Each structure stands twice: as structure tokens, then as C-alpha cells.
A and B are shown apart, each in its own frame.
Chain A
Amino acid sequence: GENVEQHPSTLSVQEGDSAVIKCTYSDSASNYFPWYKQELGKGPQLIIDIRSNVGEKKDQRIAVTLNKTAKHFSLHITETQPEDSAVYFCAASKGGGADGLTFGKGTHLIIQP
């Protein structure tokens, strides 16, 4: 089955700096790559996603890049703010609804004032 590796497990950055979280996947049939943000005591919330026919997608301060050849994708957050502090998860799916999402183990992002 699919295996998703996520790095780093903890990332501490100064407020205003950029943060980058990286994921690799193993199954070349995967074609959908969402990112989730989870705050303490809450369920994961979708923040951005990318499909395999696109190399990059941006939404304000958040961007995701995908390299299908290397089987890796990354989340970029610019101009970080205190409210960006949370746990971030990457995931991969072959689409179609079956099998759900395979998640990475998460990155705890800490924004230092």
C-alpha cells in the first residue's frame, strides 16, 4: 500500500519567516495530495490540496508544490503568524473515494514571537 513520509516532525520559525514542510509518497498511482491543519482538540481541517496534473498551487500565504517524478510534495507558508502554530499533516490518495487518505505522521509548527 501507499506510504507517506513527512519531515520535519517539529519546526520552529520566527514570526514573519517562511516555513516549509516536505512529504514523500511511495505509490506512483497516487494523484491527490491534500494538506490538513489540526489545532489542539479539533479535527483536521483542509487548508490546500493539489492534483497530479498540476505542479504548484497557491492560496494567499500558503502554497503547495508537487514533483511527480521524485514523488514528493511540499507545503510552503510565507510571512508566518502566531495563528499558524498547529500540527500539519500531508496525505496522499489514488482518488475515487476508496481506500481513503494515507497520512504522514505530522509536523508540529511553532511560531516564535
Chain B
Amino acid sequence: DAGITQSPRHKVTETGTPVTLRCHQTENHRYMYWYRQDPGHGLRLIHYSYGVKDTDKGEVSDGYSVSRSKTEDFLLTLESATSSQTSVYFCAIMRGEDTEAFFGQGTRLTVV
């Protein structure tokens, strides 16, 4: 599993509440990514990080923010959750440029 831990694994939250998902890695990889997976859409990139405090937007970044204050942790925040953000969220790491990407086990988020 390339030393990736996502927490929580499941969460149910109410519309309008803030939510933070955590991705923790143990192997000091430079690149970290957040994807969401929805039926009929595959996996879509939300945000990614290429180092501490270095982040950039992906294809579906609206409504999400990220932070990376330490190499090992990449946080995804939904400032005010909406029902359209109900999804399975995956964190991924890449060990370096031009290397393989490995995924965590996912977080299932339900916004009611």
C-alpha cells in the first residue's frame, strides 16, 4: 500500500458543515494527490502537492482546499459540504517524477 493511510475511512456529514480528510504517508514521497471517484466519471483530480506548502488545482477543485504543512500529511478540506460532494475520495502518492502512482484505500463521504 506504499505506506498510505487515509482517515477517516467513512464519514457522514450534514450539508453546510466543514469536513477535513487526511492522507498520511510514511515514506517521504514528494508528490501527493487527492482524487474523487464517482460512478460514470472514473477518478478525477481535485488538488495535488509537489512539496511542503506547494499545491496546485486539479480538474475539479471548486469547493475544495488543501494544505500540506509536513511532508507526510496532505489534508483535503470541504469548507461547506454539499450533496454533490458525496463521493469516494482517494489519496495517491508518487515517489518521484516519472514514477508510478500508488493509491490509498479511500474515504467514503456522504453529505446529507
What is the interface of chain A, defined by CB distance below 8 A to chain B? 1, 6, 32, 34, 36, 42-46, 49, 89, 95-106
Contact = CB atoms under 8 A, between A and B. Distances in A.
Nearest to B108: A41
Contacts, number: 61
Given A49-B100, A103-B43, A104-B42, A97 B30 contact: yes
B48 interface: yes
A102 B41 CA distance: 11
A44 B33 CA distance: 14
28 contacts: A1-B59, A32-B98, A36-B103, A43-B1, A43-B90, A43-B103, A43-B104, A43-B106, A44-B43, A44-B90, A44-B103, A46-B100, A95-B97, A97-B30, A97-B50, A97-B94, A97-B98, A98-B50, A98-B56, A99-B45, A99-B48, A100-B33, A100-B45, A100-B48, A100-B58, A101-B43, A102-B45, A102-B59
